[in-house]
Amino acid sequence: MDQIRAVVLDIGETILDRSREYAAWAQFFGVPAHTFSAVFGGMITRGSKVAAVIESFAPGRDYSSLLVERERAGITVHLEERDLYPDVRDALVGLRRLGISIGIVGNQPAAVSAQLRSLDLDVDFIASSTDWGVSKPSPEFFLRILESAGAAAGETVYVGDQLDNDVSAPLAAGMQAVRLIRGPWGYLMRDATVEARCRAVIHSLTELPAVLGA
């Protein structure tokens, strides 16, 4: 196994706890939070994306226009320290000690990556699919990661919660993968065969430095 020169962390449900974001959507649609969560879980187990879940509450309207409408209604979520999972900063300290490049990327609006940069995280780069104009699981997305990290595919580890975008896609790009069991996708979507191809399956980012340093 190649020596690790770079690690890249997914954004949603890896770095960010999206509870406040999803609660904002429930408020906007005027439904109980548990109703929104139940619909969310049911749809993603059938392969639906977040945008499709949002649109299911307003048939005939698209995600982008609904987001604008939500913001006009004053229901906004600006990222704050409390939106980071509690293990993030400790994990970054441990990763920095390994002397490797650290990145944070994901399929997110540009506003999310911009707000993440304002949190002063000790990483080398932060980017979103909107910043790059390409999203997971496109191979081009992972090429952009390698360019930003300055590392070869086999020397780079992608860490995330989703089996398709965060495990299968980077593996197909020649990278290594670490599966994080966290958030809706982490607990609802399990596949022992896919997970067996990972460098590790973890339940906390604080496990990551030991996994990569081994």
Task: Decide if 163 contacts 179 (C-beta within 8 A).
Answer: yes
- Please give the DSSP secondary-structure letter assigned to residue 3: P
The two tokens of residue 68 are 């604008």
pTM of the shown model: 0.93
**What gap in Å lies between CA 149 and CA 127, rounded to an integer?**
12
- pLDDT at residue 213 in the model: 86
**What gap in Å lies between CA 1 and CA 152, rounded to an integer?**
13
Q: Quickly count: other Cβ atoms within 10 Å of residue 100's Cβ.
A: 21
**What gap in Å lies between CA 154 and CA 6, rounded to an integer?**
10
CB-based contacts of 156, cutoff 8 Å, min separation 6:
4, 5, 6, 7, 8, 145, 146, 149, 175, 176
Task: Decide if 66 contacts 96 (C-beta within 8 A).
Answer: no
Walk along the chain (214 residues) and give the pLDDT tens digit of each residue: 678 999 999 999 999 999 999 999 999 999 999 999 999 999 999 999 999 999 999 999 999 999 999 999 999 999 999 999 999 999 999 999 999 999 999 999 888 999 999 999 999 999 999 999 999 999 999 999 999 999 999 999 999 999 999 999 999 999 999 999 999 999 999 999 999 999 999 999 999 999 998 6
The two tokens of residue 70 are 């939500």
* Residue that the structure tokens 């196994």 belong to: 1
Beta strand 200-202 with 125-128: parallel, antiparallel or unpaired? unpaired
- pLDDT at residue 1 in the model: 60
- Helix axis angle for 19-29 and 63-72, nearest 10°, is 80
- pLDDT at residue 171 in the model: 97
**What gap in Å lies between CA 81 and CA 70, rounded to an integer?**
22
- Ordered by where they begin, the domains of the chain are 6-16+80-213 (3.40.50.1000), 19-72 (no CATH)
